[in-house]
Amino acid sequence: MKRAALYARVSTVDQHLETQLLDLRAMAKQRGHEVVHEYTDTISGTKSKRPGLDQLLADARRNRFDCVLVAAFDRMARNVRHFLEVLDELNHLGIEFVSLRENIDTGGALGVAMVVIVSAIAQVERQAIVERVRAGMRRARLEGRQIGRKPLQVDRRGLLRDRERGMSLNQLARAYGVSKASVCRILKDAKAPVSGGFVPEASGFAQDKELVSSI
């Protein structure tokens, strides 16, 4: 007996989840499935983040059921991309997807063909997203715009001198407007002990200047 998960969704509180669930329970019984859990959402199908669907996918990754039953494709998602992503993930987890209205079962011959088509479409979509990101980055470079995090602008020499004078990591972070982690990185790059003061060699501050200039 296959373990079945039912998923039902309505957009507003004026609609009734029980209408979908009654049909899904009947379909599960007709197929000889054991209903192990019912997941529901009262939210727009355009929202990709939904408590019920998120929990369904989390339990799918834990192998808590063998198939998912829905009343129709648009109950799972109105956004085509999101629907393909969900179906593709269920397929990779070895979980069948059954839609009552469309009469689609990915466990059957037609369903297998559909999974192949869906997987191909999802792969093309992922590649298209990658290409769009790369094109955007190329355009940003041509326009002279900064890509990624801006370089850290800080007076490193002054920071090292203040560390030598005994300022703590927290004090340095506040004084130079950077995080404590950034202070630690600067001190590490300068090969200065983080736990203690900056101790110059016998040559004195001149060697300190030489060390700082190499940063």
Which of 11, 48, 119, 182 is the catalytic position?
Answer: 11
Q: Give the Cα separation of 163 and 155 in Å (integer).
A: 12
CA distances from 110 to 30, 77, 90, 131 (A): 20, 21, 16, 32
CA distance 213 to 156: 10
Contact 43, 15 (CB under 8 A): no
Backbone angles phi, psi at 10, to 5 degrees: -130, 155
Strand, helix or coil for residue 72: coil
Provide CB contacts within 8 A for 110, sequence distance 6+. 104
Q: Which two tokens stand for residue 64?
A: 């808590």
User: Is 11 a residue of the active site?
Assistant: yes
Active site positions, annotated: 11
